[in-house]
Amino acid sequence: MNEIELKCKELLKAQGINISSEIDFDVNGEIHSLSLEYIIDTFMKASDESQLVFLTAMQKATEAKGMGINKFFEGMGQLLLMTHLSDKIEV
């Protein structure tokens, strides 16, 4: 586990958020569930710069009032699903 990934997971723990929590996404009537840990782990496969952007955005989301961190992970999960599904589309 790299330093940025560790910081992301510690940030969730400090917020009292279970890293195993899942978010359900409805894609064309089919439910896909992604855990927060999976979302973090997947984004940590990106470049060092992208990892740092992810961490910074996550930190800003935790500072936001209301549902900032939830919206952040919903958006990141949607991005992962769109990327995964677009890889499967034959043109």
Are the C-beta atoms of residues 74 and 33 closer than 8 Å to each other?
no
Q: Please tell me whether residue 34 adopts helix, strand or coil conformation.
A: strand
Look at the block and give the residue holding tokens 């961490």.
Answer: 55
**What pLDDT does residue 51 have?**
96
Task: Give the model's pLDDT for residue 87.
Answer: 64
Q: Is 60 helix (H, G, I), strand (E, B) or coil?
A: helix
pLDDT of res. 91: 43
What global pTM score does this model have? Answer: 0.88
Encode pLDDT of 41-50 as tens digits.
999 999 999 9
pLDDT for res 43: 95
Residue-range domain boundaries for the chain: 3-87
For the segment 12-65, what is each residue's pLDDT rounded down to a tens digit?
999 999 999 999 999 889 899 999 999 999 999 999 999 999 999 999 999 887
What is the number of residues in the chain? 91
